[in-house]
Amino acid sequence: MRAWTLSTALAVSLLGCTAAAQEAAFERFRYAGSDPENSAPLEPGQYRNPILQGFHPDPSITRAGDDYYLVTSTFAYFPGIPVFHSRDLVNWTQVGNAIDRPDQLDFGTLGLSRGVFAPAIEHHDGTFWILNTCVDCGDNFLVTATDPAGPWSDPVWLPDLAGGIDPSLFFDSDGSAWILNNGPPEGEPRYDGHRAIWIQRFDPVAKRTFGPRTVLVDGGVEPETNPIWIEGPHLIRRGEWVYLICAEGGTAEGHSQVVLRARSPEGPFEPWEGNPILTQRDLPRDRTHPITSAGHADFVELPDGSWWATFLAVRPYEGDFYNTGRETFLMPVDWSGEWPVITRPGEVIPYAAARPGLPDAGPGPEPTSGAFEIEETFDAPLGPQWMMMRNPRETWSRVQEGRLVLAARPVGLGDNGNPSFLARRQQHQNAVAETTLSAPPTRLGDRFGFAALQSDDYWHAISVVRTARGPRVELRSRTGADQPADGVLIADAPLEAEGPVRFRFTAVGDRYTAAWAPGDAAWRTLADDIDGRTLSTRTAGGFVGAVFGPFAQSQAD
């Protein structure tokens, strides 16, 4: 497989490079997290949910022989659409990103929760296919690769699907290929959230749709109840039946998965009277350590004939508040009857359960589930887990001699642009993230720091800024679009020395602490009761989760 790095992506198709910018050097990055509900030792033969912690929504899975590949949404983060590999469905390694060249898609100044939604991956005759929607940036497209680690092709656009989202590809047993997607219903929508599932033939050689487009589902499995947001469709053939699985009910606590079936991909499809086949909306809201908002599932068949589902769900720390975003979970699919079932009424999604019947492949190079710690010493190119806000249009980062070097540019965290900011996901409710800045800025107004960020409008940032009074350590926060783009000053302190400065954020549920330290001195708290709910989806909106990372910003020239 091709070794992918962030440095590789930034070296391809960039339009220029930053000249004469002051640079910030960060010596290390450390992240550690542990949550009580999913950190206890496992029993022999068990796996742990979620299998991909932190912001990894809309999972889609495919099998190629003994290998399994999974993709998730990244919206307007770059690189986009992470590709994970596993041989046992439990231990996963990110092998690349399908959108890793700045000229593949243009996120421009899109909101961070726009961009690439709900990718669907399939493997057929030696080729991997990913179908996706670039919301507000080009509509529906596909990319292909022979190696899932990349390189992936440039997008091939699918104009017949205009106005729709969530395309997926189905290769039937007779050799025919079909694309289905969520789209507007025929005629005027009857209510807010009224959508339909459409299908059309697909030519995999020409890579285009053809023939009539047909509505498979109008509204949902019980149209008389005005169901909302039927989406994320996938077709599965099992014997003489073709099963259509879809998400329904929106992506919040009413989320669910439903199933219909027909003799042909073109229908007519009948819904199962036992729907939904996956949900947690029927459980008490005050239960301990809840998992909520479950849906958007995809199925995969194992060599032994068993079926498993990946799907998204969330782990709130209070009510519907969560900062880790929508995560990827795994459960078996029960085919003991004629219809597939993931959870039965009242059944709780488990944090620990019996593993699939596959040989244990052992942990990958980085953990993705349970309690863990990660430390980056910047002695090798950055891995594919690192992300930036939107496409880069100039080279502003590099790894050099054990340091991550960022060019200070006049683009801030709240500017709806591509700031000099590289980040990794918050993957636990209880987490610590820290980094070390080699030296403070020397140019007046320049700011080097460390941020906990949910979007352009919601973030907290510790930084050293060069002022007329000398260097100072500041905590600035932005908690809404009505606040200044550079945030509001919450606390500050003088920096007495010009040497290294450490930054640290500690999250405990909805409370964050911001701290700093000069050199190897003891930590000093800037604020210890920051309202972390400002980084939650409930407050900040959108579909992303919180991230941590270093940044560098200069004053405009």
Q: What is the pLDDT of residue 11?
A: 43
Counting other chains too, the contacts that 66-69 makes at CB distance below 8 Å and 24 or more residues apart are 66/303, 68/300, 69/121, 69/123, 69/128, 69/148
Count of domains for the chain: 2
Residue in 23, 35, 160, 231 annotated catalytic: 231
pLDDT tens string, the chain, 557 residues long: the values are: 343 355 444 443 333 344 467 999 999 999 999 998 887 899 999 999 999 999 999 999 999 999 999 999 999 999 999 999 999 999 999 999 999 999 999 999 999 999 999 999 999 999 999 999 999 999 999 999 999 999 999 999 999 999 999 999 999 999 999 999 999 999 999 999 999 999 999 999 999 999 999 999 999 999 999 999 999 999 999 999 999 999 999 999 999 999 999 999 999 999 999 999 999 999 999 999 999 999 999 999 999 999 999 999 999 999 999 999 999 999 999 999 999 999 999 999 999 999 999 999 999 999 999 999 999 999 999 999 999 999 999 999 999 999 999 999 999 999 999 999 999 999 999 999 999 999 999 999 999 999 999 999 999 999 999 999 899 999 999 999 999 999 999 999 999 888 999 999 999 999 999 999 999 999 999 999 999 999 999 999 999 999 999 999 998 66
Q: Taking the complete model, does pTM exceed 0.85, yes or no?
A: yes
Output the six-digit token pair for 349.
Answer: 């999604």
Considering the domain architecture, whether residues 88 and 160 belong to the same structural domain is answered as yes
- Alpha carbons within 13 angstroms on the beta-carbon side of residue 49 total 28
* Sign of the torsion angle spanned by Cα atoms 136, 325, 449, 102: negative
- pLDDT at residue 39, rounded to an integer: 79
- Pairwise CA distance, residues 254 & 37, whole Å: 23
Give Cα 191 distance to the centre of its chain. Answer: 29
* 155 and 62 share one domain: yes
**Looking at 354, 388, 417, which one is the last position of a domain?**
354
What pLDDT, on the 0 to 100 scale, is given for residue 132? 98
Residue 20 has what pLDDT?
Answer: 60
Residue 23 lies in a domain: no
Q: Distances in Å between the alpha carbon of 213 and those of 130, 155, 180, 183, 190?
A: 21, 22, 9, 11, 21
Which of 308, 326, 354 terminates a domain? The answer is 354
* Residues 509 and 540 both lie in one domain: yes
Element (H, E) at 134: strand 127-135
Chain centroid to Cα 280, Å, comes to 21
298 is catalytic: no
504 and 410 fall within a common domain: yes
CA-CA distance, 295 to 2, in Å (whole number)?
32
Is residue 244 domain-shared with residue 189, that is, in the same domain?
Answer: yes
Q: Please indicate, yes or no, if residue 164 is contained in any of the structural domains.
A: yes
287 and 407 assigned to the same domain:
no
- Report the pLDDT value the prediction gives residue 555, as an integer from 0 to 100: 87
Distance, in Å, from the CA atom of 131 to the CA atom of 12, rounded to the nearest integer, reads: 23
Chain position carrying tokens 């930053």: 18
Shared domain check, 396 and 523: yes
Domain boundary among 324, 354, 384: 354
CATH number of the CATH domain containing 402: 2.60.120.200
Parent domain of 157: 56-354
**386 and 311 within one domain:** no
CATH of the domain at 101: 2.115.10.20
Question: Domain for residue 415, yes or no?
Answer: yes
Give 140's strand partners: 133
Q: Is residue 139 part of a domain?
A: yes
Verify that 455 and 423 share a domain, yes or no.
yes
231 classed as catalytic: yes
- pLDDT score, position 6: 54
With respect to residue 202, please indicate whether it lies within any of the assigned structural domains: yes
In a shared domain, residues 208 and 345: yes
Options 35, 58, 327, 474, the catalytic residue = 58
Residue 15 lies in a domain: no
DSSP state of 17: B
Instruction: Give me the amino acid identity at 426.
Output: Q
* Residue 25 counted as domain residue: no
Return d(Cα 32, Cα 331) in angstroms, integer. 26
Say whether both 195 and 301 belong to one domain. Answer: yes
In a domain, 241, yes or no: yes
Same domain, 117 and 209: yes
